[in-house]
Amino acid sequence: MKKIVLCFVLLIGIIPKVYAEDVNLAEKAKSAILIEPTTGEIIFEKNSHEKLHPASMTKMMSMLLVVEAIENKSLSWDEKIRVSENASSMGGSQILLETGEEMSVRDLFKGVAIASGNDAVVALAERVAGTKDAFVTMMNKRAKELNLKDTNFKNPHGLDDANHYSSAHDMAMIAKELTKHEIVFEYTSIYEDYLRKDTDREIWLVNTNKLVRFYEGADGMKTGYTKEAGYCLTATAKRNGMRMIAVVMGEEDSKIRNSEASAMLDYAFAQYQLDTILTKNTTIQKIKIDKAKQKQFTIIPKEDITFLYKKSEKKKKIDYTLELQKVKAPLKKGDKIGNIIIKENGKDIRKIDAIIKENVEKANIIELYLKHITDIFKGDISIRS
């Protein structure tokens, strides 16, 4: 890998390294965590790795797999799913699906995100994986990919099972992954809506997460309740371009659950600030690529590069370097061609993929020859990345 040191020095706030354990947050919760998702920084935690029943917060993983299936085009929002007897017979919260009924992926997803429908999530699971059990296997595989060490799923809905467990930390990490799919918030932020509108089986959906109506900036993500789990909530909210994720588990009732999650979010928005250093559209460098048809290409970050810091902290200098791999045409837009290494006081603190902004077409022999001749006359020496 070829290292190119870019002399960019940026004034930003120091990344918080110490958890906010000195504040009185989530006092009645069995476990809790507060994070900023773009950096993954933990602002506060309490027993965050304790394995507990997650109840319907489980559905966040189910929603993640559905959205990923849609993005890889193995599923579409408008596809109609025929409801199985297994799905329609699910107990607990439901949207009253009937065996043989057909409903779009969009409406089923809405039924999960808003009303926490167990029948809806099973219908989606069976479509994505073939069977509910196969979908659960996918859930656990995805959990391992996300390095969730406190989690084991036994179903896609969260009804109590002795071997179905997770932690506040792992729930926050699933929510963090979901925040990368902005379309999810189009559903989780809805407070009320209807399914089967203007039919004799119309059903009114009211969001189980009351914060989306009563808390400024709240736009998700998922509630949960069973006798074993108690009252749980993964709450997301965004203000002034900064999103926060708060998770509480094992609360005594829904009022305390909402109050403690809100207090955690209040603390984060009052105490912290997010700076965006580079966006995913920022040009890092222009390069030439071996055997490419075009003359030059643009390197950009795969994602926004942000830093979280306490508003009371002093500013610190941050720089970054670009490390390029040896690549040649052809390449697809979005292909990784190196790393952007973020440094604080000369120490590597984060690594972001550097990707190519455009498709890179391979030149034919004649085009390569003409390009070589032109470069000779111009005295241009190509950068072989």
Angle at 134 between CA 133 and CA 135, to 5 degrees: 90
- Which residues of the chain does CATH 3.40.710.10 include? 31-251
Residue type, 84: S
Tokens of 224: 């949960």
Which residue out of 48, 84, 116, 262 is catalytically annotated? 116
CA-nearest of 133, 131, 78, 85 to 108 is 78
pTM of the model: 0.85
Rounded to 10 degrees, the C-alpha dihedral 217/114/188/202 comes to: -100
Q: Which residues pair with 376 in a beta bridge?
A: none
Q: What is the helix (H) or strand (E) element at residue 291, kind and residue range?
A: none
Active site residue 176: no
* Segment holding 261, helix H or strand E: helix 254-271
Residue 362: burial class (beta carbons within 10 Å; 0-12, 13-18, 19+): middle
Q: Using the 8-state DSSP alphabet, how is residue 16 labeled?
A: P
> What is the CATH architecture of 2-13+277-378?
Sandwich (2.60)
Residue 17 has pLDDT above 70, yes or no: no
- Give the Cα-Cα-Cα angle 289, 290, 295 (nearest 5 degrees): 50
Burial 20-35 (b: 16+ CB within 10 A, else e): beeeebbeebbbbbbb
Model confidence at 22, in pLDDT bands (50, 70, 90)? Answer: low
Q: Over range 276-284, report the average pLDDT.
A: 88
Q: pLDDT-derived band of residue 10, with 50, 70 and 90 as boundaries?
A: very low
What pLDDT, on the 0 to 100 scale, is given for residue 36? 97
Lowest mean pLDDT among 169-173, 262-266, 272-276, 371-375: 371-375
Domain 31-251: CATH superfamily, name plus number: DD-peptidase/beta-lactamase superfamily (3.40.710.10)
Which residue type sits at 66?
Answer: V
Burial bucket for residue 260 (CB in 10 Å: 0-12, 13-18, 19+): buried
pLDDT in tens, 314-346: 766 778 899 998 888 898 999 999 999 988 777
What's the CA gap between 297 and 280, in Å, rounded? 15
Q: Which residues contact 182 (CB under 8 A, 6 or more apart)?
A: none
What number is the average pLDDT over the span 24-45? 95
Residues of the chain with CATH 2.60.410.10: 2-13+277-378
Q: What is the pLDDT of residues 108-163, one digit of tens each?
A: 999 999 999 999 999 999 999 999 999 999 999 999 999 999 999 999 999 999 99
Catalytic residue, chosen from 30, 46, 59, 371, is: 59
Q: Percent of the chain beyond pLDDT 90?
A: 70
308 forms beta bridges with: 274
- Tell me, yes or no, if 116 is annotated catalytic: yes
